[in-house]
Structure 1
């Protein structure tokens, strides 16, 4: 069965780029540009991995990660947090992300991170 990667970022350019990069992996992508809808869609689609931006309007990435980590159905979801913030790594780790990648990130870093986590 194919793995599913859920992408949540309010920057549709980043979403498009990640979808293109992830075509090199053997996984399907699901995208959500509005963080308000992300949690319900995660419950509905049950992906294997989430790639989430830290800074989004209304529901920030760290708020979403904390909610996921406190929800039994999603607790084991592998989460990669991306951000251009200087404090991003600390905030992502404190929220419960498995991995942090700083923007701008290298295409090979994303592919390696995804393939390593989806084994």
Structure 2
């Protein structure tokens, strides 16, 4: 069975880049640029992994992560936070996320962290 990854980021360029990289590795990819639609989408089609931008308009990544972890049907989704913010690493350490990636990211680092979460 192929692993499903949902990517949520308000940057279309980041969404496209991550989708290209991860599709080439054989993952099934879905993307969402609107944080307000993410919970509905993952509830209908639960991914194996969520790559979640920390700083987004409307609902930020920390708020989404809290909702996911508080929802029993979704609480086992592995979550990698991604951010260009200097505070991103601190937010990751205080959250229930499974890993963290800095933007700009190294492709090898991205792939090793994704693989680690999906094995």
- What is the TM-score normalised by the length of structure 1? 0.96
Deviation of the 1:25 alpha carbon: 2.2
Deviation of the 1:106 alpha carbon: 0.4
Number of residue equivalences: 119
- What is the TM-score normalised by the length of structure 2? 0.96
Gapped runs of 5+ residues in structure 2? none
Distance 1:70 1:95 in 2: 13
The reply to whether residue 101 of structure 1 matches residue 101 of structure 2 is yes
The reply to whether residue 22 of structure 1 matches residue 22 of structure 2 is yes
Give the 3 Å change call, closer, same or farther, for CA 93–40 of structure 1 in structure 2.
farther
Q: Point out the more displaced range, 87-96 or 61-70.
A: 87-96
Partner of 2:80: helix, strand, or coil? strand
Distance 1:85 1:77 in 2: 24
Partner residue, 1:70: 70
